Structure 1
Amino acid sequence: MTVELQGIGRRFGERWILQQLDLKVGQGECVALLGASGCGKSTALRLIAGLDQPDRGHLLIEGEPMDRVPARQRRIGMVFQSYALFPHLTVRGNLDLGLRLRGGPVQDRQQRIEAMLDVVQLRELAEQRPAQLSGGQRQRVALARALLRDPRVFLLDEPMSNLDAQLRDELRPELKRLILDGPQPVIYVTHDQVEAMALADRIAVMRHGRIEQIGTPQELYDTPSTTYVAQFIGRPPMNLINMDDNSVIGVRPEHLNLDDAGMDCRVLNREWHGASQQLLLDSQHGNLRMICDGGVSLGDSIRVSWPSQREHRFNASNGRRQ
Structure 2
Amino acid sequence: MPKTQFQSDLSLMLSDMETADPLYKPTNFWSSGFPSILKDIEALGIESFRSHPSAAFFYVPVYASNTLRKRGKFVLPLARLMSERKKQKFMRRLTREDRALDDYRIFRASSVKGGLDLDSVSENSAGGGERFEFGDRSYSRSMLNYMRALNLYKREVDSSDLISVLEIGGGYGTLGEILLKAVTDGFYVNVDIPPLAAISTYYLREVFGADNVLGYTQSRDMDEIDLDELRKKYRAVVLCPWQLPKVTGQMDLFANFMSFQEMEPEVVSNYIKIVQPIVAKHVLTRNSAVGKKLATKEGEVGVMRQVKSEFIQQEFDQFETIAKDSFVYGAENLSGSYVSEVVVMERRKP
* TM superposition score category, shorter chain reference: under 0.3
TM-score normalised over the length of structure 1: 0.24
From the CA coordinates, give the structure whose radius of gyration is larger.
1
Higher helix share: 2
TM-score normalised over the length of structure 2: 0.23
Higher strand share: 1
